[in-house]
Structure 1
Amino acid sequence: MSTDKDISNLSFEQALEQMTRLVEKLESGELPLEESVAAFEKGVKLSRRCEALLDQAEQRLQVLGNSEDAS
């Protein structure tokens, strides 16, 4: 299982891919309870990583938009 540090180094695309695979495993219903809980926890962390990266991208776009408005 990936550590928090591993997750924090993932790109948006990598985190999204891992999250997609986890959802597929959870939806299959084949995981035992403990593995399902661990997969859900990892999914939450991956979701937070994606959200953070999207927030960073949005901030960068706002800065670019503001600098163009000032020109």
Structure 2
Amino acid sequence: MTKENKSMSFEEALTKLEEIVLKLEEEDVPLEKAIDYYQEGMKLSKLCDDILKNAQEKMTQILQEEKMEPFELQGE
């Protein structure tokens, strides 16, 4: 993954990933270019996943510090 990708926000990475998906859906993408797009898309997907996991861990920590149960709905 490039240095540029590591410093991307979640929103930037998701937008770039959506652009790659649109490019891959085009019928006239050469195989080599499609492979490059796919590889970059997988890296962006992992980056988004890592950012979301980090955010979830932070929220869980905050809720535990406040002695609240994480992500539970009332009445269940």
**TM-score (norm: length of structure 2):** 0.84
Which of the numbers 31, 43, 56 marks the counterpart of 1:45?
Answer: 43
Alignment-derived partner of residue 5 in structure 1: 3
For residues 11 and 4 of structure 2, the distance between their equivalents in structure 1, rounded to whole angstroms, comes to 14
For residues 67 and 26 of structure 2, the distance between their equivalents in structure 1, rounded to whole angstroms, comes to 50
1:1-71 aligned within 5 A: 4-69=2-67
For residues 16 and 69 of structure 1, the distance between their equivalents in structure 2, rounded to whole angstroms, comes to 33
Larger Rg: 2
Which amino acid in structure 1 is aligned with residue 43 of structure 2? K
> Higher helix fraction: Structure 1 or Structure 2?
1
The percent identity for this pair of structures is 31
Which amino acid in structure 1 is aligned with residue 14 of structure 2? L
Instruction: Pick which of 46-55 and 24-33 moved more.
Output: 24-33
RMSD: 1.2
Moved over 3 A (4+): none
Structure 1: give runs of 5+ residues left out of the alignment: none
By how many angstroms is 1:49 displaced?
0.3
